[in-house]
Amino acid sequence: MDILNYFMAKKEEKKVKEVHYGAEQISVLEGLEPVRRRPGMYIGSTGIEGLHHLIWEIFDNSRDEAMGGFCDHIEVTMLPDNSVRVVDNGRGIPVGIHPKTKVSALETVMTTLHAGGKFGGEDSGYKVSGGLHGVGASVVNALSIYTKAEVHTDGGKYIQEYTQGKRKALVKKVGSSKLHGTIISFQPDEEIFKQVRFDWNTVIAHLRQQAYLVKGLRIDIIDAREWDPLTGGKGKSSDYDNAFWFRELELEVPSTTFYFEGGLVSLVKFYNKSEKPIHSTVFYVEKELDQVGVEVALQYVDGINSDIIPFANNIHNPEGGTHVTGFKTALTRILNTYGKKNNLIKEADGGFTGDDVLEGLTAVISVKLREIQFEGQTKAKLGSTEAQGAVATVFGDAFTSFLEENPDEAKSIISKSLLALRARKAAKAAKDSILRKGALEGMTLPGKLADCQAKDAESGELFIVEGDSAGGTAKMGRDRKFQAILPLRGKILNVERARLDRMLGSEQIKNLVIAMGTSIGDTFDLGKIRYHKIIMATDADVDGAHIRTLIMTLMYRYFRPILDAGYVYIAQPPLFKIKIGKEVSYAYSDEERDKILGKDAPSLEELLKESANEEGNENQEEEEEEENSKNKKTAKIHVQRYKGLGEMNSDELWETTMNPAKRILKQVSVVDAEDANKVFDMLMGSEVPPRKSFITSHAKMANLDI
């Protein structure tokens, strides 16, 4: 019996159901349909990051024109209908008929995947570009409900419009023009994206980086979302339709301009503006090796955190890649070699690890490659292997010379790394003595932890509450099957100012680390986490907000993978309990309270008086409510303002804050890690002036606890 007959016989024995499977059942997705079916493959997600990625894709095309020397001005405008307009004064997308597609090159670029001017080598004028995949403009087009391309080239003005990636008409010449460049306007499709609302600060932060990276490039960013083209002053709708530069309309709308000549050195100084440098000179090198352009700038500051910002062809790579690997390898090797050669590292110290030499470091790494390879269309990680060796060699040679020529600054850097090395050893000793294997496996869980019965982390929830009073209420109100309670006494240590050894000396932090089960530092293991929901449930006052901030600082600095996994939440307990007769409602804000009460809302003075007298005769109150409830218009109104979770009884806490069917949880995420790093460092670090400046400038945004 041959093999085919054997398997047919087995199939017959098992009575496998026969299903016709023919050529007609093979699906073929045409044009840009694959992008709309699977947008995450092209822009990472359909959330807020993917939405902003649309701007980056169009901007990158204009930025590549600037890198090639064909453009020195880019303008990005956010408009009232949630659309975005990107303008450059580059060469303009070609509008002639493409020999292969038999339609305009503009239409080919906008409606065809893997079509663009970056595949033709030096003949295209793009020696270096970020958008090598050739899918940027077409992907944005596919994911937009409306797109318009306007090109000024060869003395003419040409336009073409699209809906969900499909052209509405052929490319049309609509007039003559003395200008040159491209205008792309697009409106993201609400069928694709969860929320279509661009964040001004996110756009500013990203484009500021780009301005530092391309010397001599002017970037204008304009927020015209509140502009009314009918009543908006000088700018009318007809002006907008005909304007090349939107800024020329001179509208009174938020805007900013970036233009830098200092390059990466200026960028490092910008990141360190709130820090105290330990050496004044910013190290910088720029050199090409084996057709790989390498630029590195770095400076050490008096802090314990590191910040490495990598770019490849001016595309930010938040997940790093081969260029970062080459840099870290060279940095560790050079500092070890220099320290031992000059007797700055003693034999008892051993040698630096990669973590030792990164402490307090701010570095920007930029590589430029003619043939570039990213891991994924979002370009979050560089995969080009040649970048690793080029960065290691160029940076290694230049940094060695820098240390030799600047012995005082070299000594400061070595001393900084030595401090980190000794702290690491002390922290390891502290960790080994505190976090024994048995503790991590749950054999010696903290005494204050009221654990849940569930053994699988996926269904487990850990409520971190403020103090024993709230802890007692939460323990009585919880569902012990899947909810664990850990009360913390007071405010935990601010880890932004403390090393690991001192941190693990804190009883409160030690209890939290053991309860989560992941360990910490170099033995951290996300797979051992004991709960997939870690919920901060603190009081709705200034102290509660401070405690949340301290816990989030701990999570961000030492448990970042838990944040990235989406396991950290903030509970939203109500601010008010409102009784109208026998009807009970809960309000989570002043506005919600006023909406429930309507015109009967008591003043602040009346509310405080009610809170002071709420210990009155309960029996009398019940009798009054029973009588008043017969007539809703005269029903007694009682408003209680909760200051803390301990003021609730267990039933109220369960109903409002812990019951999965009714509660409100805010998931904590890190949208922009670099901005988050700077905010934590500024608000929780040791430098007072930057924090004071931030508080002063944002004072009007504060929610005061009166």
Catalytic residue among 479, 541, 624, 687: 541
249-255 contacts, C-beta under 8 A, 24 or more apart: 251/222, 251/224, 251/227, 253/222, 253/223, 253/224, 253/226, 253/227, 254/200, 254/222, 254/223, 255/220, 255/221, 255/222, 255/223
Return the structure tokens found at 449: 């932890």
Contact (CB, 8 A) for 223 and 204 = no
Return the structure tokens found at 521: 């530092």
Q: Are residues 583 and 564 in the same domain?
A: no
Q: Annotated catalytic, 522?
A: no
Q: Annotated catalytic, 543?
A: yes
Is 179 part of a structural domain of the chain?
yes
Q: Annotated catalytic, 539?
A: yes
Taking the C-alpha atoms of residue 477 and residue 681, their distance in angstroms, rounded to an integer, is: 37
Taking the C-alpha atoms of residue 385 and residue 374, their distance in angstroms, rounded to an integer, is: 11
CB atoms within 10 A of CB 320: 16
Taking the C-alpha atoms of residue 320 and residue 299, their distance in angstroms, rounded to an integer, is: 19
Contact (CB, 8 A) for 246 and 240 = yes
Is 617 part of a structural domain of the chain?
no
Which of 100-114, 382-396, 631-645 bottoms out in mean pLDDT, i.e. has the lowest? Answer: 631-645
Q: Are residues 446 and 427 in the same domain?
A: no
Q: What's residue 265's pLDDT?
A: 93
Mean pLDDT over residues 112-128, rounded?
Answer: 58
Q: Where are the alpha helices (DSSP H) in 133-229?
A: 136-142, 200-213
Is 705 part of a structural domain of the chain?
no
Which of 113-117, 443-447, 591-595 bottoms out in mean pLDDT, i.e. has the lowest? Answer: 113-117
Taking the C-alpha atoms of residue 177 and residue 74, their distance in angstroms, rounded to an integer, is: 18
Q: Are residues 578 and 500 in the same domain?
A: no
Is 25 part of a structural domain of the chain?
no
Q: Tell me, what DSSP letter sits at residue 654? A: I
- The radius of gyration of the chain from alpha carbons, rounded to an integer in Å, stands at 31
Is 3 part of a structural domain of the chain?
no
Is 202 part of a structural domain of the chain?
yes
Mean pLDDT, the chain, whole residue set: 83
Q: Are residues 43 and 108 in the same domain?
A: yes
pLDDT higher for 566 or 469? 566
pLDDT higher for 418 or 113? 418
Which of 257-266, 495-504, 654-663 bottoms out in mean pLDDT, i.e. has the lowest? Answer: 495-504
Q: Are residues 468 and 495 in the same domain?
A: yes
Which of 22-26, 240-244, 410-414, 532-536 bottoms out in mean pLDDT, i.e. has the lowest? Answer: 22-26
Q: What's residue 122's pLDDT?
A: 52
Which of 16-30, 36-50, 586-600, 637-651 bottoms out in mean pLDDT, i.e. has the lowest? Answer: 16-30
Mean pLDDT over residues 621-634, rounded?
Answer: 48
CATH code of the domain in which 329 resides: 3.30.230.10
In 266-388, the DSSP E strands lie at 283-289, 292-300, 307-312, 315-316, 361-369
pLDDT higher for 95 or 23? 95
**Which 3 state secondary structure label does DSSP give 151?**
strand
pLDDT higher for 71 or 261? 71
Contact (CB, 8 A) for 561 and 526 = yes
Catalytic residue among 57, 189, 539, 647: 539
Q: Tell me, letter by letter, the H, E, C secondary structure of 468-496.
A: HHHHHHHHHHCCCCCEEEEEECCCCCCHH
pLDDT digit string, tens, across residues 505-523: 788 888 898 899 998 877 8
97-100 contacts, C-beta under 8 A, 24 or more apart: none
Q: Are residues 465 and 503 in the same domain?
A: yes
Is 6 part of a structural domain of the chain?
no
Q: Which of 218, 233, 258 is the last residue before a domain boundary?
A: 258
Q: Are residues 147 and 244 in the same domain?
A: yes
Catalytic residue among 60, 75, 466, 501: 466
Catalytic residue among 543, 592, 621, 687: 543
> CA end-to-end span of the chain, whole Å?
88
Q: What's residue 368's pLDDT?
A: 92
For residue 161, pLDDT beyond 80? yes
Q: Are residues 232 and 87 in the same domain?
A: yes
Q: What's residue 408's pLDDT?
A: 94
Taking the C-alpha atoms of residue 495 and residue 458, their distance in angstroms, rounded to an integer, is: 28
Q: What's residue 487's pLDDT?
A: 92
| Number of domains the chain is built from | 4
Q: For 435, phi and psi rounded to 5 degrees?
A: -100, 75
Domain housing 58 = 33-258
β-bridge partners, 297: 284, 364
Q: Annotated catalytic, 466?
A: yes
CATH code of the domain in which 176 resides: 3.30.565.10
Q: Which of 547, 572, 597 is the last residue before a domain boundary?
A: 572
Contact (CB, 8 A) for 413 and 279 = yes
For helices 407-434 and 386-405, what crossing angle results, to 10°?
Answer: 120
Q: Are residues 60 and 156 in the same domain?
A: yes
Q: What is the percent of the chain with per-residue pLDDT over 90, rounded to a whole number? A: 45
pTM of the predicted structure, to 2 decimals: 0.65
Q: Are residues 97 and 169 in the same domain?
A: yes
Q: Which of 258, 284, 302 is the last residue before a domain boundary?
A: 258
Which of 140-149, 225-234, 272-281, 676-685 bottoms out in mean pLDDT, i.e. has the lowest? Answer: 676-685
Q: Are residues 194 and 76 in the same domain?
A: yes
Q: Are residues 124 and 222 in the same domain?
A: yes
Is 500 part of a structural domain of the chain?
yes
